[in-house]
Structure 1
Amino acid sequence: MTHSVLNNCPLNTTESGSSLTITNGIVFKDLPLQDASEQASAQDWVPVTIDQIGSGTYAGHYQELNLPGIKMVIERQNCTVHKRGIMDEKYCTLSYVRGTIDAARVSEHQASHKALFLIPAGTEVDVQVGSEAETVYFRFDQEHFQQQAMIIDPERWEGSYDPELMCFETLGQAQLDQNINQLLRHFSAGKPYLTGDGMERYITDNLMLMLQSSQPLSTLPFSTIDTRRRAAHLVHHVSAYLESVPNAQSCPGIIDLCRETGVSERTLQYSFKAQLGLTPNTYLRIFRLNRVRKLLRNPSHATVTVTEAAMRWHFWHLGRFSRDYAALFGESPSITLRNALG
């Protein structure tokens, strides 16, 4: 896997491996992760849910550089995850995926080594990232982003633009990584040659030049893109609906999903296979397993049991539940709970 541009930063680590470095008002967070839910919690500026959908014992890393007007994030994990939410009404992001990206997808678009994604404010976030891929994104105030983009290319960015996710083809990612890596080597050595404002401008200028030289990426007919976009929205709709379900008393099945979305089971099957490579039933099971894991990792009381958590999410056959849980997360549910209770 391609190494993070931040990997060269020597940091003051704690016993847990986490670190927080502040230099000239610039905040840099470096967090090891043990669960997909921790990956979601780290991104506290946007309400997002991340579920593990690929098998294995999860291990991840989250790095965040906070500048006066930009937040840069690099996240990676060793298991395939499904990330979804809605962008804040104030912020937009520019992002790309690197490493082995065959399983990476951003909404209706499959990731590539040339793809740069603009996710406007208020847009649905639906991302699937494989085990050997790394996500890099830059968060801007949307008004500030548009002002900067108009300076570089006023014809493209003047006025309002499509509120849907936009995908561009660019050749500038390697140069951007190299420039940021050079800047961060000085920063991590305690000798930043730029102030926070200067570093922000440096990164912004690099991003805008890369965006200016890019072209809208549309290698597929509009009808195909539109079909994929509808599938992405449908999967997001189902995910949001499931998130609203509090417990087993209203844990939905396929009929409930068809009723909620207003589509047939066949359409539901197609959309989930196209977006996640999973059937709706498999997705439902994985969703419920992730919810049980959340309960076991954060027990509400010291006497909570695996059986209690499993049955809350409609796992009635406990032997089969334990096998499915271990197959997905790489450990038994009893070990998860034991570790949580210390």
Structure 2
Amino acid sequence: MVVRRTTSDVLEQADALPFWSQDYTQLCKGEFTGAVTSVSRQGLQLFREAMNRSVDEVASAPPDSYVIGFPTVVEGEASWGLLPINAQSVLTLDKNSELLFRTSRRSEIAAAVIPAECLECYAERVECMNLRKLLESLKPAESVSAEISARLKSAVLGGLQRFAEHLPGDDGNDQAWRHFEDELLASCVQVLARGRSDGSKHHEHRIHRYIVNRVREATLANPGYPPTIGELCEQLRVSRRTLNHAFIRVLGITPVTYMRNIRLHRVRAQLQSAPEQIVTIANVAAKWGFWHMSLFSRYYRELFGELPMGTLSRARRT
């Protein structure tokens, strides 16, 4: 299966990647554009995703699959799996694990999604390695040599370019896919074996992300009456300074802005998903704690590049 999509909406982008379950929150203001290319065959998936705005992603890959990839564009601060990343990082996601990914203000990543049994068997049979033991010492974002990462990038990007044109159908193309898959598995195992970890940075970022996640849960649990910063500090037993520091480190925005963006996304999702049921936009806004309509409209337009009525009108037309 080959999928190519361009999007102009962050919620549409979250649904664009096949087989994944994703929740995107746009962090910086402005009109959104994104693109996804995906190739999948026999449970293995290659994809490339680009976005022009910083986004906080909470995502789940296909069940029982490993994700191994790399950024091709990183402009600004970004983190994958609780660790800061740059253009030299290799990114991994363990099977059946939740992905926490904050993209930079302009970003592009490419990755392979590989059935766990396939990669584990290859590592044991061909490389004589225990993949599970290898992953225990690996962090979600690692630095490897340029030579090792170049092999992985060549395999993933080359496979996307080649097979996005046409998936294997005849015997010759099936053979080409088989050789490609072997090279991809070899490249992935080699990268995993050469990773280098920094445990202290991972631990610090994990604490900061924990704080962000608890704030997200509290915001969604009380949509009409979001907690104050003081209430959050009491619940989490952290100082206001610690709370702000965690958000700046993890997402690059303040807790107040993040909670507002979360609620704006929920309003947008409701306007798009059930436009015929909307009596007034004010009712939807109030449900998510926006009582001052002029302020709500301003915040909405700043974040998404259009007024709420524009979103609703387009949804009703389509």
TM over 0.5: yes
Shift in alpha-carbon separation, 1:152–1:254, aligned structure 2, 3 A = farther
Is 2:173 the counterpart of 1:199?
Answer: no
Hey, what does 2:30 align to over in structure 1?
A: 56
CA distance, structure 1, for counterparts of residue 279 and residue 270 of structure 2: 9
CA-CA distance at 1:311 after TM superposition: 1.0
Give the whole-Å Cα distance in 2 for the aligned partners of 1:74 and 1:236. Answer: 26
Kept in 1, the 8 Å contact 2:83–2:140? The answer is: no
1:223 aligned onto 2:197: no
In the alignment of these two chains, the number of paired residues is 312
- Higher mean alpha-carbon deviation, 132-141 vs 150-159, is at 150-159
What is the distance in 2 between the residues matched to 1:240 and 1:37?
A: 19
Instruction: Decide whether aligned partners of structure 1 residues 187 and 162 sit closer, same or farther in structure 2, where only a CA change above 3 A counts.
Output: closer
Helix, strand or coil at the partner of 2:15: helix
Q: Which moved more, 1:234-243 or 1:42-51?
A: 234-243
1:43, distance to aligned residue in structure 2 (A): 3.4
Q: Kindly report which structure 2 residues correspond to 1:151-230, keeping only aligned pairs within 5 A, or say none.
A: 151=125, 153-155=127-129, 157=131, 159=133, 161-162=135-136, 165-170=139-144, 171=146, 172-183=148-159, 186-187=162-163, 190=166, 195=173, 198-199=176-177, 202-209=180-187, 211-212=189-190, 215-218=194-197, 222-230=199-207
Q: What does residue 324 of structure 1 align with?
A: 299
**Secondary structure of the structure 1 residue equivalent to 2:302:** helix
Give the Cα separation in 2 of the matches to 1:237 and 1:122: 21
Secondary structure at 2:31 match in 1: coil
Q: State the shift of 1:149 in Å.
A: 2.9
Query: Post-superposition shift, 1:239?
Result: 3.0
Question: How many angstroms does 1:82 deviate by?
Answer: 0.7
Distance verdict in 2 for CA 1:204–1:78, change over 3 Å: farther
CA distance in 1, matches of 2:249, 2:241: 12
Cα distance, 1:30 vs structure 2: 0.8
Moved more, 30-39 or 41-50: 41-50
Aligned-pair distance for 1:231?
1.3
Aligned to 1:124: 98
8 Å contact from structure 2 (residues 156, 184) kept in 1: no
Between 222-231 and 154-163, report the one with greater CA deviation: 154-163
Q: For structure 2, which runs of at least 5 residues remain unmatched after alignment?
A: none
Asked if the contact 1:119/1:165 (under 8 Å) is kept, the reply is no
1:333 matched to 2:312: no
In terms of fraction of residues, the more helix-rich structure is 2
Report the alpha carbon displacement of residue 196 of structure 1 after superposing the two structures with TM. 5.0
Residue correspondence of structure 1 range 138-149 to structure 2 within 5 A: 138-149=112-123
- 1:95-129 Cα shifts (integer Å, max 9, x gaps): 21112343221133221222112211232311111
Measured in 1, the distance between the counterparts of 2:264 and 2:97 equals 27
Contact 1:91 1:141 in 2 (8 A): yes
For residue 79 of structure 1, give the secondary structure of its aligned residue in structure 2.
coil
Q: Structure 1 CA distance, aligned partners of 2:11 and 2:194?
A: 35
1:7-86 equivalences in 2 (<5 Å): 27-43=1-17, 45-86=19-60
**Cα displacement string for residues 41-77 of structure 1 (whole angstroms, at most 9, x for unaligned residues):** 2335343211111111111111111111311121111
Please name the residue that 1:11 is paired with.
none
Moved more, 89-98 or 284-293: 89-98
Q: 1:225 to 1:339 in 2, by over 3 A?
A: same
Identity of aligned residues (%): 23
Following the alignment from structure 2 to structure 1, what is the Cα–Cα distance between the partners of residues 77 and 172? 37
1:15 counterpart residue number: none
Letter in 2 for 1:102: G
Distance 1:152 1:38 in 2: 41
Q: What SS does the corresponding residue of 1:301 show, helix, strand or coil?
A: helix
Q: Which runs of 5+ in 1 are unaligned?
A: 1-26
In 2 relative to 1, CA 33–263 (structure 1 residues): closer, same or farther, beyond 3 Å? same
1:235–1:124 distance in 2 versus 1, CA, 3 Å: farther
Q: Distance in 2 between matches of 1:164 and 1:190?
A: 35
What is the CA distance between 1:160 and its match in structure 2?
Answer: 7.3
CA shift in 2, pair 1:64/1:253, >3 Å:
farther
Change (3 A) 1:61 1:195: same
> 2-side partners of 1:164 and 1:229: how far apart?
15
The question of whether the paired residues in 1 share the 8 Å contact of 2:84 and 2:141 is answered with: no
Give per-residue Cα distances to partners, 1:225-276, cap 9 Å, x unaligned: 3111221233234334545x3742x544435544654544443222111101
Q: TM-score under structure 1 normalisation?
A: 0.79
1:177 deviation in Å? 4.0
Aligned-partner residue type, residue 208 of structure 1: A
From the superposition, tell whether residues 85 and 209 of structure 1 become closer, same or farther in structure 2 (CA, over 3 Å). Answer: closer
